[in-house]
Amino acid sequence: MNETETALWWARVRAAGPQRVTSGDAFPAGMLRLVEPDVTAVWLLPAVPEGAGPGVTEELGLPLLAVEQPNDTARVLAACLRCCWVEPTGPMWPGAPASRDAVASVFTKITNRDEIASHRAMIAAIRRLAAAGWVLWDEPGQTVRLGPRVAAWGSADSSALRELWRLLPPATGAPSSDTGRS
């Protein structure tokens, strides 16, 4: 792939989010290749050098685009992480699918809200997260998986998230061996 094609791929992902391509395709320089569990497809995710990520923008005190309902969106992402990152000593991607009810049970435990309000907020947040590639939402099947963007978290982020995982309650009905494993 030449420089023009590489630049075009980076721009495509900027415009439309992480892209799913067939695993045999040539892939653009500087991107992470995240192989789907069935190995027939890969997600392309741009990886910028350390010091060029969105976190730097925040350190500089510059404004970022505001997320709608930031608190609920973050809590739902945390609940998805708790359910889909089955083995937190290992990598997050690809993780395992989790049912909407499993995610809802974690979200309800951490928000302590009535079920109807909680459900509405959760679905809205899942849709927002899915639109941005943080989760993959199978609406007909009502299951959630972690999205390709989670692979952009560096090792420091992953350790912090591993701690968060341990603090969060497990999904109702999840095997108890799931909790507190280190």
**Where does this chain bind another protein (CB under 8 A)?**
3, 6-8, 10-12, 14-17, 29-30, 32, 46-57, 60, 62-68, 91-93, 128, 150-155, 158
Place of tokens 């990598």: 91
Residue with Cβ nearer another protein (23 or 57): 57
Cα–Cα distance measured from residue 109 to residue 97, given in angstroms and rounded to the nearest whole number: 20
Give the nearest distance from C-beta 95 to another protein in angstroms. Answer: 12
Residue with Cβ nearer another protein (50 or 138): 50
Cα–Cα distance measured from residue 136 to residue 147, given in angstroms and rounded to the nearest whole number: 5
Give the nearest distance from C-beta 62 to another protein in angstroms. Answer: 4
How many other C-beta atoms are found inside a 10 Å radius of the C-beta of residue 113?
15
Residue with Cβ nearer another protein (47 or 117): 47
Residue with Cβ nearer another protein (153 or 174): 153
Give the nearest distance from C-beta 105 to another protein in angstroms. Answer: 27
Residue with Cβ nearer another protein (7 or 164): 7
> What distances in angstroms separate CA 4 from CA 9, 92, 161, one per listed residue?
9, 32, 37
Give the nearest distance from C-beta 53 to another protein in angstroms. Answer: 6
Give the nearest distance from C-beta 151 to another protein in angstroms. Answer: 5
Tokens matching residue 104: 């809802």
